[in-house]
Amino acid sequence: MAEAVYDLAIIGGGINGCGIARDAVGRGYSVYLCEKGDLGGATSSASTKLLHGGLRYLEHYEFRLVKEALIERETLWGIAPHIVRPLRFILPYSKGLRPAWMLRLGLFIYDHLGGRKLLPGTLRVKLDQGIYAQGLRKGLALGFEYSDCWVEDNRLVILNAIDAQERGAVIAARTKCVSAKPHGEGGWTVTTEEVGTGIRRTIRARMVINAGGPWASSIVRDIAGRAPRGRVRQVQGSHIVVPKLYDHDRCFIFQNADGRIVFTIPYEGQYTLIGTTDRDYPGDPAGVKASPEEIEYLCALASSYFDRTVNPADVVWTYSGVRPLYDDGASAAQSATRDYVLELDEQSNAPILSIFGGKITTYRRLAESALERIEQTLGMPARRTALEKGWTGRASLPGGDFKPGEFGMQVARLKRDYPFLSNELATRLIRQYGTRAWLLLSGARESSDLGEVFGADLTQTEVDFQCRHEWAQTADDIVFRRSKLGLRMSKAEIGRLENYLRGAAGELKSA
């Protein structure tokens, strides 16, 4: 049988691969994407989950990146109001660290660089008064409160993948690209292997997009057989989760004497998320995990700002990821550029575009830059109905077809249509699925119609929905990536879910 020929074969289903797939298929290119693990299962589910300009990058004069990211905050809030929400951050002034005038100037630039229409601006606040005094140690008097946004990072990947698939892309999860070889007639022959079964398939593509994140250099070298020009600098970042340290909804951004900053963020109702670290990581990105030194570092920093000591023994969960930064030769890991670099190699009439660096926040703009290079290389797509540049910032992501600010209204609507849902469950379902919650619940008249409850409020209906429509296969996919319900489930409950998934394998494969 003749191999299928696509315009693009995208290697890597993190935020960048899925973001490029969505934009490209919308513009009319035919797209095949393979991801060797779970979609978004690597760096794109291990971030701090902030849509932010990156206040600290101003110190490195990365004005272009900061401006683009600041604008993206509200663009992404507009297309995905279910998984994005605004946050307020408190930045305390600490004697001996950055002076108050510098913090004020940085935040003035942050507020005025662009894109802020809905998010409130910066306020000067007294940290010894009102809610601001809650939890913090005595002696901190002055602070500044400013805006950024939160995003469910893994959901953002999945929603981009769903949208790309609904528009015609082939999304092959748990499928590893094992080789890419130039084809005699131009373009590539790409061989993939299905993880688990070992089944190999080949497809042809006019162009390869290397969106392998931390694996990007090795994809160029070992899979495409080319000498990489750009290099990934692998920088590890870890987070810890502890029982909540204070009651209000503000986040803190703390400065450390080493020049780094660390966030504390109210997390999943009962917890505080603390992160992150920055250190060079030479190992296999798949094996990354928070080290005891990183956990100590984060606990010590939090303890120096809060009125209680945070101990490694308080930590209930950790996660860690490897930033696939572009190696710009900076000495300290924390100073390496967070901007993205696209490298096109057109040797032998077989073009490959490699993606280095980037942020969750700027994935959509990165995809637009990639599409410019794709258009220059392949020409305009043949498909007539194609959308134009910028469409991804206007068309809502699946489930996000309502306005920012209407979240509560959607929860009320869902409760009206499914009165047996508790407030908590209705809120979680809208947060996780937006208006796709109606698809998930369709036909249910009472709670028992949702089937077995595995723990927390996770039902069989939801598990089946994720397996059929969101490429979920394992318990981790469901309770630690597409949700964080695992924090509220016992080992035995997660084990029961695993058994169910093993039994249901095959029947529940993604539609």
With CB under 6 A as the rule, give the number of residues binding ligand FAD: 40
Angle at which helices 63-79 and 363-378 cross, to 10°: 100
Long-range contacts of 487-492 (CB under 8 A, 24+ apart): 487/241, 487/268, 487/270, 487/271, 487/316, 487/317, 488/268, 488/455, 488/456, 489/454, 489/455, 489/456, 489/458, 490/455
Helix (H, G, I), strand (E, B) or coil at 480: helix
List the alpha helices (DSSP H) in 243-346.
292-305
For residue 309, cis peptide bond before it (omega within 30 degrees of 0): no
177 near ligand FAD, judged by CB under 6 A? yes
- SS3 string, 438-449, reads HHHHCCCCCHHH
Residue 11, classified by CB atoms within 10 Å of its CB into exposed (0-12), middle (13-18) or buried (19+), is buried
Q: How far apart are CA 79 and CA 105, in angstroms?
A: 31
* Cβ nearer to ligand FAD, comparing 42 with 479: 42
- Please report how close the Cβ of residue 467 comes to ligand FAD at its closest, in angstroms: 19
Stretch that binds ligand FAD, among 11-19, 125-133, 244-252, 471-479 (CB under 6 A): 11-19
What's the first-to-final CA gap in the chain, in angstroms? 24
14 near ligand FAD, judged by CB under 6 A? yes
Contact present, 34 and 192 (Cβ < 8 Å): yes
Bridge partner residues of 201 (DSSP):
192
90 near ligand FAD, judged by CB under 6 A? no
- Please report how close the Cβ of residue 190 comes to ligand FAD at its closest, in angstroms: 10
Q: Which of residues 16-35 bind ligand FAD (CB under 6 A)?
A: 16-17, 34-35
Draw the binding track, 195-234, toward ligand FAD (x: CB under 6 A; -: no contact). Answer: ----------------xxxxx---x---x-----------
Among 122, 154, 217, 276, binds ligand FAD (CB under 6 A): 276
46 near ligand FAD, judged by CB under 6 A? yes
Helix (H, G, I), strand (E, B) or coil at 258: coil
* Cβ nearer to ligand FAD, comparing 230 with 358: 358
- Please report how close the Cβ of residue 379 comes to ligand FAD at its closest, in angstroms: 26
295 near ligand FAD, judged by CB under 6 A? no
Helix (H) or strand (E) holding 367: helix 363-378
* Cβ nearer to ligand FAD, comparing 17 with 228: 17
53 near ligand FAD, judged by CB under 6 A? no
Q: How far apart are CA 152 and CA 118, in angstroms?
A: 20
Stretch that binds ligand FAD, among 5-13, 91-99, 305-313, 495-503 (CB under 6 A): 5-13
Contact present, 467 and 451 (Cβ < 8 Å): no
* Cβ nearer to ligand FAD, comparing 42 with 440: 42
37 near ligand FAD, judged by CB under 6 A? yes
- Please report how close the Cβ of residue 35 comes to ligand FAD at its closest, in angstroms: 5
Residue 135 makes CB contacts below 8 A (sequence gap 6+) with: 245, 246, 247, 306, 307, 308
* Cβ nearer to ligand FAD, comparing 72 with 145: 72
Draw the binding track, 361-380, toward ligand FAD (x: CB under 6 A; -: no contact). Answer: x-------------------
- Please report how close the Cβ of residue 479 comes to ligand FAD at its closest, in angstroms: 19
* Cβ nearer to ligand FAD, comparing 31 with 322: 322
The encoded tokens of residue 313 equal: 């023994």
Stretch that binds ligand FAD, among 1-9, 14-22, 289-297, 425-433 (CB under 6 A): 14-22
The encoded tokens of residue 175 equal: 């499928």
Draw the binding track, 435-474, toward ligand FAD (x: CB under 6 A; -: no contact). Answer: ----------------------------------------
Helix (H) or strand (E) holding 412: helix 407-417
74 near ligand FAD, judged by CB under 6 A? no
Among 26, 135, 230, 237, binds ligand FAD (CB under 6 A): 237
Which spans of this chain sit near ligand FAD (rule: CB under 6 A)? 11-17, 34-37, 41-44, 46-50, 176-177, 211-215, 219, 223, 237, 276, 321-324, 355, 358-361
